[in-house]
Structure 1
C-alpha cells in the first residue's frame, strides 16, 4: 500500500514511545505493588505480543506492492498480526482476572 515516505517512520516512533512509557509504568507499579506478580507478568506479555503484532502489521502495510505475490504476502502478514494480537488480548484478559482477585489481609 503506497504511503507517504515519513508515515511508517512516524508510526514506528510514536508506537515505540508509547510502548516504552507503558512498559516503564507497568514495571514501576510491579515494583511498588509486589503482591500480584502474575498480573504484571501477564500484562508485560500482552505488551510484548502486541508489539509483535504491530511489527507484522507494519510489515504488511509497508510491503512492496509491486512484488509479484504482494497480495498473498500482505494478507499473510496481516493474518499473522491478527493472530498474535488475539493472543495478546487473551493475556490482557488473564491479567485483568488476576488483578481482580480479592486479597484478604492477614
Structure 2
C-alpha cells in the first residue's frame, strides 16, 4: 500500500513510544505492588504480543504492492497479526481475572 515516505517511521516511532511507556508503567506498578505477580506477567505478555501484532501489520502495509504476490503476502501478514492479537487479548483477559481474584482475596 503506498504511503508517504515519513509515515512508516512515524508509525513505528509512535507504536514504540506508546508500548515502551505502557511496559515501563506496568513494570513500575509491579515493583510497587508485588502481591500479584501473575497478573503483571500476563499484562506484560499482552503488551509484548500486541507489539508483535503491530509489527506484522506495519510489515503488511510496507509490502511493495507491485510485487506479483503482494495480495497474498499482505493477507498472510494481516492473518498472522490477527492471530497474535487474539492471543494478546487472551493474555489480557487472564490478567484481568488474576487481578480480580486478588481483589476478592483482599476483601475477605
1:1-106 equivalent positions in 2, closer than 5 A:
1-101=1-101, 102-104=104-106
What per-residue deviation string (whole Å, max 9, x for no partner) do you get for residues 4-51 of structure 1? Answer: 111110000011001111100000000000000000000000000000
Runs of 4+ in 1 over 6 A off after TM superposition: none
- Measured at CA, do residues 105 and 90 of structure 1 come closer, stay the same or move farther in structure 2, by a change above 3 Å? closer
Number of positions where the alignment pairs a residue of Structure 1 with one of Structure 2: 106
Q: In structure 1, what is the Cα distance between the partners aligned to 2:18 and 2:57?
A: 17
Secondary structure at the counterpart of residue 64 of structure 2: coil
Q: Provide structure 2 residue ranges, at least 5 long, that are not aligned to the other structure.
A: none
RMSD: 1.3
Segments of 5+ residues of structure 1 without an aligned counterpart are: none
Q: Which has the higher helix share?
A: 2
Q: CA deviation at 1:105?
A: 7.5
Cα offsets for 1:48-105 (capped at 9, x unmatched): 0000000000000110111110000000000000000000000000000000112247
Taking structure 1 as the reference length, what is the TM-score of the superposition?
0.96
